[in-house]
């Protein structure tokens, strides 16, 4: 039998999830009314190299919400998910925040790099030229996984206790660079957000290295 404390936590999680799951609907309605169809700009080609700790991976997923999150982007709608490459027990892995299609079981996850990049219809790898900053980026992402942060169903950048996928990468990158890499954030449904396209188009510290 669950303790009173455990039951209380479960009830609180349920109360948090119910209103939060309405947010995508509100965002979708607002976007449908306000945003024209976007055409993805060309990304400069770069020689393919092996991924390294501290790289950022953008992926186009094939889950229920992937097309929705890709369409939140206004200029480049190719990608819907993001994570940070780390090295764990000698193997490359990706730290990322994800929930299932129902919005449940959301948390910061640690997945095999090859499996992460294969679980979708395309991906791109971005890198910091400053390798010391890249090491800090990987460390910050690993710390969020170690802290078992939940997925941020409220999509609220003001709350560091829960993160959504691009928020995780943005927070880790901010710690790595020791400044906010996206001071002018887009606004969706009345609140500032970090979109997947921002890593490609609005952060000059990052450059494409693969594929």
Is residue 41 in some structural domain? no
Output the pLDDT for position 45. 44
Q: What's 81's domain CATH number?
A: 3.90.1720.10
Is residue 44 in some structural domain? no
CA dihedral defined by 153, 141, 45, 184, rounded to 10 degrees? 60
Assign 3-class secondary structure to 31-92. HHHHCCCCCCCCCCCCCCCCCCCCCEEEEECCCCCHHHHHHHCCCCCCCCEEEEEEEECCEE
Is residue 146 in some structural domain? yes
Q: How many domains does the chain have?
A: 1
Is residue 31 in some structural domain? yes
Whether the model clears a pTM of 0.85, i.e. scores above it, the answer is no
* pLDDT tens figures, 127-182: 999 999 999 999 999 999 999 999 999 999 999 999 999 999 999 999 999 999 99
Q: What is the mean pLDDT of residues 96-124?
A: 91
Q: Quick one: pLDDT band at residue 54, thresholds 50, 70, 90? A: very high
Is residue 92 in some structural domain? yes
Q: Quick one: pLDDT band at residue 23, thresholds 50, 70, 90? A: low
What is the residue range of 77's domain? 4-36+49-210
Is residue 176 in some structural domain? yes
Highest mean pLDDT of the ranges 24-38, 58-72, 103-117: 103-117
Q: Quick one: pLDDT band at residue 24, thresholds 50, 70, 90? A: low
């Amino acid at each position: 039998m669950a303790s009173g404390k455990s039951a209380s936590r479960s009830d609180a999680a349920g109360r948090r999830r119910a209103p939060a799951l309405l947010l995508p609907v509100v965002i979708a309605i607002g976007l449908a009314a306000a945003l024209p169809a976007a055409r993805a700009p060309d990304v400069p080609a770069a020689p393919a190299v092996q991924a390294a700790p501290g790289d950022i991976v953008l992926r186009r997923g094939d889950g229920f919400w992937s097309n929705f999150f890709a369409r939140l982007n206004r200029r480049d709608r190719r990608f819907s998910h993001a994570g940070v490459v780390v090295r764990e027990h000698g193997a490359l892995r990706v730290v990322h925040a994800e929930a299932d299609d129902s919005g449940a079981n959301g948390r910061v996850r640690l997945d095999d790099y090859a499996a992460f990049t294969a679980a979708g219809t395309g991906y791109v790898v971005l890198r910091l030229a400053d390798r010391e900053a890249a090491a800090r980026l990987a460390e910050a992402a690993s710390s969020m996984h170690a802290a078992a942060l939940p997925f941020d169903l409220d999509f609220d950048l003001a709350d560091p206790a829960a993160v959504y996928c691009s928020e995780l990468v943005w927070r880790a990158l901010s710690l790595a660079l020791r400044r906010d890499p996206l001071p002018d954030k887009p606004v969706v449904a009345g609140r500032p957000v970090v979109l997947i396209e921002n890593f490609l188009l609005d952060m000059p510290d990052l450059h494409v290295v693969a594929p």
